[in-house]
Amino acid sequence: MSTDDTTPDGLIPAAILASDTPVAVYGYARAKAGGEGRMLGEIQAIIGLTRKEDGCEQYVVHTTPDQPGAFAFYERWSSGAHLLAHVSQPFMQTYFAAIAGLVEGELEAHWLHPLS
Mean pLDDT by 10 residues, the chain (116 residues): 48 91 96 96 98 98 92 97 95 94 92 87
Model pTM score: 0.87
Q: Report helix, strand or coil for 9.
A: coil
Contacts of 85 (CB under 8 A, 6+ apart): 53, 54, 55
- Determine the straight-line distance between the first and last CA of the chain, rounded to whole angstroms: 32
Cα(36)–Cα(16) distance, integer angstroms: 30
CB contact at 8 A, 88 and 111: no
